[in-house]
Amino acid sequence: MLRYFNKRLIGIIPILFFVSIFIFLFVHLIPGDPARLVAGPDATLDDVNAVRKELGLDKPLYTQYVNFMTNIVHGNFGLSLKTKRPVLTEISERFMPTFWLTLWSMIWAYLFGQIVGVISATKRNKWQDYLGMFGAIAGISLPSFWLGLMLIQFFSVHLGWFPTGGLDSWKSYILPSITLGAGEAAFIARFSRSSLMDVLNEDYIRTGRAKGLKESGVVWGHALKNSMIPVVTMAGLQFGFLLGGSIVIETVFSWPGLGRLLIDSVSFRDYPVIQAEMLLFSLEFILINLLVDLIYGLLNPQIRYE
C-alpha cells in the first residue's frame, strides 16, 4: 500500500500543473480590471497604468503565468490586492473555521444518514422506509439558503437560542452545520439504503440467516461493513466539495471562512487570493480522493493496491 500511496502522491504533481493553467486562465477571464479597483474610483488613467505595472498585469499572460508558478514553487503566493497582506495569511486565518464547520456537518450528516438508510433498508416498504425516504427527498429538495434563513428566523430571531451569524462560540456552529449537512445527510441516507439492500440479497447473508443468526447481527455485523464502500466514496467526495468552501452557507451566516473569502476576492478581482484558494481546493479534493481509496483497504481486506 505504501508503494501505491507514493505513486499517487507523485501523480498529483502533473495534475496540479494542468489545474494551475486552467485556474490562471479562468481568473484572468473574470470581467473587470483589478488595477482600477486597487487605484480607486477617482484615479486617473496614468494612476491605473502605474498600478497595473506595479502588479505585473501589463506583461503578457505567459510571462505572468511563469512568474505565478515560480512564486508558488518558492512558497510565495503573493500579496492580497485588497488587504495588502500575504495570501497565505489570509487563507490560513479562514481555513480552520471552514474546516471545523465542514467536519461537524459531515459527522452528523454521516451518522444520521447512515442510521436512516439502515432503518429504511431493513424496514423496506414499511412506514419507517417511507418516512425516511420522504425526509431524504425533502433534504435534497430544500434550497440550502432558504433552510438557513428559516433556521435563523425560528431559532435565532424568535427563540434567541443561537446567534444569527458570525463565529463567537460553539453555538455559532449549530445552525450552519445543520444547514450545510442537511443535503449531505439526505444523499447518504439514500446511498446507504440502496447499497445495504443490494448486500442483503447476497448469498452469504442468506447463509447467515439460515444458520440462525439474529437479524441485527446479520445487518450490523456482516452486511453493513460491505455496504459502506460506495457510501464512503460519496461521503468523501462531498467532504471535498464542502471543504472547498460552501459559499451560500457562509454568506447566509456571515461565516468567516474560505467560501466568504472567495466571494469577497472575486468581487475585488483579487487575483492572488482567488488563484491560491482554487489551487488549495483542488489539492484538498485530490488528497481526499486518495484517503478514500486507502479507507477501501480497511473496509474490505480483499482490496489490494499495486
**Cα distance between residue 242 and residue 250, in whole Å:** 11
Domains of the chain: 2-73 (no CATH), 91-299 (1.10.3720.10)
The mean of the pLDDT values for the chain is 79
Q: Answer whether residue 305 shows pLDDT above 70.
A: no
- Does position 216 have pLDDT exceeding 70, yes or no? no
Q: Where does the pLDDT of residue 291 fall: very low under 50, low under 70, confident under 90, or very high at 90 and above?
A: confident
Q: Is the pLDDT of residue 119 over 80?
A: yes
Contacts of 152 (CB under 8 A, 6+ apart): 164, 165, 175, 252, 253
What are φ and ψ of residue 95, in 5° steps? -70, -50
- Buried-exposed string 13-39: b where 16+ CB fall within 10 A, e elsewhere: eeebeebbeebbeebeeeeeebbbbbb
Q: Which cell numbers in the block locate residue 282?
A: 483542488
3 state SS of 67: helix
Rounded Cα–Cα distance for residues 79 and 47 (Å): 20
With cut-offs at 50, 70 and 90, classify the pLDDT of residue 298.
Answer: low
Is the pLDDT assigned to residue 265 strictly greater than 70?
yes
Backbone angles phi, psi at 86, to 5 degrees: -55, 140
pLDDT in tens, 89-114: 888 888 888 888 888 888 888 888 88
What confidence tier does 45 reach under pLDDT thresholds 50, 70, 90?
Answer: confident
Number of Cβ atoms within 10 Å of the Cβ of 54: 12
